Amino acid sequence: MSLTRTSKRLVSLDVLRGITVCGMILVNNAGACGYAYAPLKHAKWDGFTPADLVFPAFMFIMGVSIYLSLNKSNFDWRISIARILRRTVLIFMSGVALKWILAFIATGEYNTLENLRIMGVLQRLGICYGIVALLAVTVRHRLFPTIIAVLLVGYYLLQLFGNGFEKCAGNIVSMVDYAVLGKSHMYLGGAQFVDPEGVLSTIPAIAQVMIGFLCGKVIVGEKEIRSQIVKLAVWGTSMFVIGYLWSYAAPLNKRLWSPSFVLVTCGITSLIFATLIYIIDDSKRTRWSFPFLVVGVNPLSIYIFSEIAGGLFRKLQWTTISFEGIWQPLFGNCGGSLAYALAFLMFNWLIAFFLYKKHIYIKL
């Protein structure tokens, strides 16, 4: 059976989405804290590692999906707006509920609202989805490049004149997070000064999704596969180069979601996407991609399941027991930590495979 199209889905996009979710699970579920190979660790502040790519890549992919989805209704706001608002609220509240569940698992206390982290991965996805989707049905798409430039340059200027590149409480990004969210509702109780999915840094994250949206427009607008590949590759290379050069003035920083970080990660993701389209859609080499396709058709549900399962495993000491009793003796500290993460990933993949075989596709 060809995997190029399944139920009119763009399989290369599903595969990319699956690769990204698998990356998230590996990065978030090391066998022991502090033991991980460098590519699976986030940069502590300035800098960039492969682990820093997975979340922004997912946001880029969401932008592509927004275009493909809304294009079916010809971007008619009368048809789409209620669905957009409902999905925005559902994704955001799923993120808040996930934080509450994880807090309950960790503490055993129901009343954790006073210190519950407000923002997070799903919350940022929900906010950015809602804003970009609403813009898509209300604003002419030819204005998107201008809006992206305004968002990125405007955020850079806020950082430039607001001590916004320093890891300190005087950082404007930190000040806004503290003022809007409150210290107790920030990541790690505000111990790292900024919330990595905070308020002000959502501005460039919106631009990230908009760039993905424009790449989705390329997929639909260019009927020839080779033309899609060339455009995505050219755009990806251009964004990577511009972002890298900009990093000398605005350092690559995931926690701040710096404008250079947006362009570099969008550039890399666009190049990977172009490569997958070439391999899957053009060359028809698809068998290798099946494991990622299985995850990619149920991305958010598998991510949520992995977060809850990971929290339960840690609370019940299963992570520590298996790491110290099996993986560390066999593979050492970092190798054992990776082996546990891979085993945990396989556990989640089996859940995804069950859903896939039963044709169950859970959408938020």
- Give the residue from 285, 302, 331 where a domain finishes: 285
C-alpha separations of 88 from 84, 123, 125, 220 in Å: 6, 9, 8, 24
- Give the residue from 268, 285, 302 where a domain finishes: 285
Burial of 43 from C-beta contacts in 10 A (0-12 / 13-18 / 19+)? middle
Judge whether 144 lies within some domain. yes
Same structural domain, 278 and 195: yes
Query: In this structure, what token pair is assigned to residue 206?
Result: 């919106």
Kindly state the helix (H) or strand (E) to which residue 98 belongs, with its residue range. Answer: helix 77-107
Determine contact, residues 26/345, Cβ cutoff 8 Å: yes
Same structural domain, 70 and 166: yes
Which of 317, 316, 338 shows the shortest CA–CA distance to 327?
338
Burial of 206 from C-beta contacts in 10 A (0-12 / 13-18 / 19+)? buried
- In 10 A of CB 322, how many CB atoms? 18
Domain count, the chain: 2
- Give the residue from 285, 300, 325 where a domain finishes: 285
C-alpha–C-alpha distance, residues 180 and 177, integer Å = 5
C-alpha–C-alpha distance, residues 302 and 288, integer Å = 20
Which of 204, 219, 293, 182 shows the shortest CA–CA distance to 253?
204
Same structural domain, 187 and 158: yes
Please give the single-letter amino acid code of residue 67. Y
Consecutive 10-residue runs of the chain (364 residues): their mean pLDDT? 46 95 94 87 92 96 95 91 95 94 85 82 96 96 97 97 89 92 84 88 97 95 90 96 96 96 98 95 90 94 95 92 92 93 96 94 84
> Locate tokens 């596969």: which residue?
225
Query: In this structure, what token pair is assigned to residue 43?
Result: 């940069």
C-alpha–C-alpha distance, residues 210 and 130, integer Å = 11
- In 10 A of CB 192, how many CB atoms? 15
Same structural domain, 167 and 299: no
Judge whether 335 lies within some domain. yes
Same structural domain, 145 and 256: yes
**How many residues does this entry show for the chain?**
364
Judge whether 315 lies within some domain. yes
- In 10 A of CB 188, how many CB atoms? 10
What is the reported pLDDT for 2? 34
Which of 246, 279, 270 shows the shortest CA–CA distance to 260?
246
What is the reported pLDDT for 1? 30
Query: What residues make up the domain containing 61?
Result: 54-285
C-alpha–C-alpha distance, residues 286 and 150, integer Å = 40
pTM comes to 0.92
C-alpha–C-alpha distance, residues 141 and 157, integer Å = 25
Tell me the HSE value of 129 on the side-chain side, using a 13 A CA sphere: 27
The crossing angle, in degrees rounded to 10, of helices 299-315 and 121-138 is 170
